[in-house]
Amino acid sequence: MFKKLQNKIVPTNILLVDDKSENIFALEKLLEGEGRHFLKATSGKAALKMAISHDIALILLDVQMPEMNGFEVAEILKSNKRTANISIIFVTAISKEQKYVLKGYETGAVDYLFKPLDIEITKAKVSTYLKLYQQQKELAEQYVIQENLASLVDNSMDITCIFDLNSFVVEEVNQTFYTLLGYNVESVIGTPLVQYFHSEDVNETKKIIQEELGSNSDIFVFENRMKCNDGTEKWMRWKLIVKNGKCFANGADITIRKQTERKLSENLAYLVRINKELGEAKRVAEASVKVKQDFMANMSHEIRTPMNAIIGFTGLLLRGELSDEQRSSLESVKISGENLIVIINDILDFSKIEAGKMSIEASEFDLRTILKELVKLQKQSADDKGVSLVLNIEDEVPAKVIGDSVRVNQILLNLMSNAIKFTSKGKVELAVKVLHDSEKEVQLEMTVEDSGIGIPANKLSDIFESFTQAKGDTTRKYGGTGLGLTIVKKLVDLMQGDIKVISEPEKGSKFIVTLKLPKESAANVQAKEEDDGKDIVLGKLQVLLAEDNELNQILAKRVLNNFGCEVVIAENGMIALEKLRENDFDVILMDIMMPEMDGIEATKIIRKDFPEPKKNIPILAMTAFIFTESSDNKYLEAGMDDYILKPFNPDKLKQKIAKLVQKQA
């Protein structure tokens, strides 16, 4: 019966196997794309069950796992007929010595990915093997179509013959035997069919037929090679039907298919060789490998969540009555926490820039005030080291300019904090002067000069590279992420400016930033004028706080109570929905990552399923998680009205709540 193939898209299953769920999460985010469906297993046993019960295109298999390692899983998969043809890529952080790599290929893997993963190579390899899988799948589907069509036409298109089951002597044969193989039909009748089989296939073919007949099969299919009259060979697919002691055989020419399969096999071998070469290239390039964006986002969440409580509670305590010793200790805790947040922000800024998500704002700001505040902020650090801090602003430098004040401040803050960090005596000077001035814009040269340890000449070209510092022991001695100057360089580039460095070991360094900034009136630019939140009075708002972390629950409740709000706590999104059904609230503060049901899912349910007016209640996301693979609009797209990042500033929180409640009213 003709089998109609449905023209529909079937998702391609990719099995991710790793005993660490965070690695699976990061890998899924890295590889996600249209038409891809990810199955996940955190153990070898779970992976084997999934491979047996699903149609898997590709397996990314971690080598080092408890109970059953990746090599053992691969050997079992390859020994099972159901899973033997699944492509396996090992993901490993173990030694790259040849013996380990060979062991992987011996167990059946087609490729290796070495941790830390190179994003582009990982994506390219996975795409290549998925394309190969799709080609093989399409080839199989095409073959099915050919089979279906063949059943609708006369058998004369294929070889059709009748032969005796015992002697294999041909009793009848159609003209196609001559068309395909070149033998005269009359001469074939009365001869054993097996004499036209390829000599290497005779015994195997006879064995297959006898075994099938022995199992009482009435119909069976096999493939073999036939000798042509001109000395060539053809691959044939035979379908045999047994009736009344006679065998009715239909033979289709599958030579082209076999040639295609051989070509695909050759291409696969070529891909394996190329990927080995790519693996070697990856080893050479590992010094500059990009940090995976999803990994950084997860780390940000894990660090920001406890830091929210540390900084928040410290801030609350600092507002109360304290002894000098207590205040000093708490301020030290607060400064340490804020320093850690600076490091996290460096990593996230780097991630945003690399992802092309960093935007430069344009609003009027007071440049002189920013410069003075910057020096004031760094003065204590300089004083602690006995280093003089000097600000030198030429009279020609305008007070008001147009640009991104936050990013200008970030550039100079990074350069100045670096200068102070690497200077143990002498001075650090920030000098600003005008290079070119016109009616509409001013070109400024901002120089940060120090008398510190300096930079060797052979390292000057590397200092703006990611995770690079002048000496191997610099990070251990002075700290830092190695991202500060990278971020500075990329921000300067985004602002279409220029940065250069002049340095000499043991004498100091000079970083020179050149920027062009417009001087237009603020009337031509949409300035951001927002209340700082300190003078806002919220009143007795009814607030639903969805937060699973107990310390952050206590912190947020105390802050909101200080605002005059009444707070009801829900430990996850599901409980938050129940609370909202039973009570009326003015605003919801929604954490994102919670057990049972996360904040995004809960928000979507509120916006879709709740009746008026509850479905329109203002929802403010409070999150410690940064989505580096998608835009910051992720929360807004889910139906939230705004978001605030942990650790949050209480005044900023008050400002956002007031804005949402006012908008709702």
Output the DSSP codes for 7-23: ----PEEEEEE-S-HHH
pLDDT at 156: 58
Residues 173 and 232 in one domain: yes
Residue with the two structure tokens 């990329």: 490
- Flag whether 357 is in a domain: no
- State yes or no: pLDDT of 3 exceeds 50: no
Residues 375 and 503 in one domain: yes
Residues 404 and 458 in one domain: yes
Cα 176 from Cα 641, distance rounded (Å): 74
Cα 242 from Cα 224, distance rounded (Å): 19
Could you list the residue range(s) of the whole structural domain that residue 557 is in?
292-333+531-665
Q: Which residues contact 150 (CB under 8 A, 6 or more apart)?
A: 157, 158, 252
Residue with the two structure tokens 């830092």: 480
- Flag whether 655 is in a domain: yes
* CA 436 to chain CA mean position, Å: 44
Judge if the upstream peptide bond of residue 611 is cis by omega within 30 degrees of 0: no
- State yes or no: pLDDT of 38 exceeds 90: yes
Asked if 513 and 487 touch (Cβ cutoff 8 Å), the reply is: no
Asked if 418 and 484 touch (Cβ cutoff 8 Å), the reply is: yes
Specify the CATH number for the domain of residue 180.
Answer: 3.30.450.20
Which of 102, 122, 150 is where one domain is finished?
150
Residues 244 and 297 in one domain: no
- Flag whether 280 is in a domain: no
Residues 615 and 577 in one domain: yes
Judge if the upstream peptide bond of residue 505 is cis by omega within 30 degrees of 0: no
- Flag whether 75 is in a domain: yes
Please give the span between the terminal C-alpha atoms of the chain, in angstroms, as a whole number: 67
- Flag whether 624 is in a domain: yes
> What does the pLDDT look like over 244-284, one tens digit per residue?
777 888 888 888 888 888 888 887 777 778 777 777 776 76
Q: Is 244 left (phi over 0), alpha (psi -120 to 50) or beta?
A: left
Residues 56 and 122 in one domain: yes
Residue 199 bridge partners (DSSP): none
Cα 60 from Cα 70, distance rounded (Å): 10
- State yes or no: pLDDT of 2 exceeds 60: no
Range list of H helices, 54-201: 70-79, 98-106, 119-150, 176-181, 185-188
Per-range mean pLDDT, top range of 50-59, 102-111, 289-298 = 50-59
pLDDT at 144: 67
- Flag whether 173 is in a domain: yes
> Bigger pLDDT: 97 or 330?
330
What is residue 316's three-state secondary structure?
A: helix
Which of 134, 150, 166 is where one domain is finished?
150
Residues 160 and 142 in one domain: no
pLDDT at 303: 66
Environment class of residue 415 by beta-carbon count within 10 Å: exposed (0-12), middle (13-18) or buried (19+)?
A: buried
Cα 224 from Cα 378, distance rounded (Å): 82
Residues 483 and 582 in one domain: no
Specify the CATH number for the domain of residue 604.
Answer: 3.40.50.2300
Domain count, the chain: 4
Residues 457 and 403 in one domain: yes
- Flag whether 261 is in a domain: no
Confidence of residue 528 (pLDDT cuts 50, 70, 90): very low
- State yes or no: pLDDT of 601 exceeds 90: yes
Which of 109, 127, 150 is where one domain is finished?
150
What is residue 193's three-state secondary structure?
A: helix
Token pair, residue 168, equals: 């294999």
> Bigger pLDDT: 484 or 392?
392
Residues 315 and 235 in one domain: no
- Flag whether 327 is in a domain: yes
User: In this structure, what DSSP letter does residue 230 have?
Assistant: T
Cα 514 from Cα 488, distance rounded (Å): 12
Residues 655 and 554 in one domain: yes
Closest CA to 494 of 359, 393, 606, 320: 359
Residues 376 and 519 in one domain: yes
